[in-house]
Amino acid sequence: MLLCAMTFKELQEKFPTEQSIIVHFHKIRYRNGLVCPHCGSTQKVGTRIDQLKLCNCNRCHNTFSIFSGTIFEKTSTDLTKWFYAVHLFLNAKKGISALQLQREIGTTYKTAWRMLKQLRTAMGNEILTKPFELIVEVDETYVGGKPRKENKNLQFTTPMPKDTSTTGRGTKKTPVIGVKERETGRVYTRVALPDQNGQKLTGKQLLNVISTVTKSDSVVMTDDFRGYNIMNHKVTNPEKFTHISVCHSLGEFSAGKGLHTNGIESFWAILKRAIIGSYHHVSTKYLQNYVNECCFRQNNRGDNAFDKLLLQSVLVA
């Protein structure tokens, strides 16, 4: 499946030089007009003719770069390499490792690793313009990320708790909660870290994630995990979700009637292939970033994905 419609040849034709990248980025970032980051002025702000990536504000007399406040701001890596990295990242269904990127664009491993981290940050800046509605499927999955040790000095003296079970609820793996809008296939996911009582994956946590993206009165399909029962009571279900629990264990699985959570489950398969296939191991600290990466690919396909990522490269304060 082609995720990003642009081919490598098209990328080269569209962005042959650093200058063409600057012009394009300018067009994307300032699609509603130039704004001075120092004084907020939209008047009397203009691009410098001698250096296209710099702008002058004639109100506060400051100069600013069109890359200020973006993931590209402090980089010393050539922009053509950055754009090639974006292209590779968007087209790799299972993601791309720092080692692969290092080989492809000819940087150090550390630089490639940082670039991927920055791109994942941009991917996580996605703002859902429209809430999920009608039917949403909700499920959780467990990823084998181990909690990062707080103190490096303890690295060899404090063994991590042994994870004896390999799958499912009750393991020491990290739960990720996912919501998928059935009609559009859009996905929203959140890593569920333990609450202040040390509990993870409570009904409240599940409902919080669902409510963040789902319109009131929508139908929410889940499996029979008891945490979802929070939606079965009026008091604990202010959004008035209609909860349908599909009970796999009792053989009520009837996909033909649309009663299933297959959509979100197939997203988990993609996520796990990416984490196992390309990244091998992801620590809990970075897990949300990797999950965001898979969500972005799922939610943004075709021509717009590239420009959308550029737009999201502006860091949220």
Chain contacts with Zn ion (rule: CB under 5 A)? 36, 38-39, 41, 57, 59-60
Q: What is the closest distance, in whole angstroms, from the C-beta atom of residue 64 to Zn ion in the complex?
A: 8
**CB of residue 67 vs Zn ion: minimum separation in angstroms?**
17
Query: Smaller CB distance to Zn ion: residue 26 or 38?
Result: 38
The answer to whether 90 touches 3, Cβ cutoff 8 Å, is yes
Q: How many residues does the chain have?
A: 317
Rank residues 57 and 123 by Cβ distance to Zn ion and give the closer one.
Answer: 57
Q: Give the pair of three-digit tokens for residue 44.
A: 């009397």
Q: Considering the complex, what minimum distance in angstroms separates the CB of residue 28 from Zn ion?
A: 21
The number of beta carbons lying within 10 Å of the beta carbon of residue 50 is 6
CB closer to Zn ion out of 41 and 211: 41
The four Cα atoms 295, 300, 302, 306 give a dihedral, to 10 degrees, of -100
Rounded to a whole number of angstroms, the minimum distance from the CB of residue 23 to Zn ion is 22
Contacts of 121 (CB under 8 A, 6+ apart): 71, 289, 315
Query: 98-105 and 79-91 are packed helices; what angle lies between their axes, rounded to 10 degrees?
Result: 130
Residue (40 or 277) nearer to Zn ion, CB: 40
Specify the long-range contacts of residues 67-75, CB closer than 8 Å, at least 24 apart.
67/25, 68/37, 69/37, 69/314, 69/315, 69/317, 70/29, 70/313, 70/314, 70/315, 71/118, 71/119, 71/121, 71/122, 71/313, 71/315, 72/25, 72/313, 75/115
**Minimum separation from the CB atom of position 37 to Zn ion (A):** 8
CB-nearer residue toward Zn ion: 36 or 115 = 36
Least distance CB 55 / Zn ion (angstroms): 9
- Shortest distance, position 47 Cβ to Zn ion, whole Å: 14
**In terms of CB distance, is 60 or 219 closer to Zn ion?**
60
- DSSP assignment of 51-118 equals -TTEEEETTT--EEETTTTBTTTT--S-HHHHHHHHHHHHH-TT---HHHHHHHHT--HHHHHHHHHH
Indicate the residue among 57 and 136 with the shorter CB distance to Zn ion.
57
Nearer to Zn ion, 16 or 40 (CB): 40
CA geometry: angle 220, 143, 251, nearest 5 deg:
45
Q: Please report the beta strands in 103-203, taking only residues with DSSP state E, as ranges in sequence order.
A: 135-143, 174-181, 187-191
Closest distance to Zn ion from the beta carbon of 220 (Å): 48
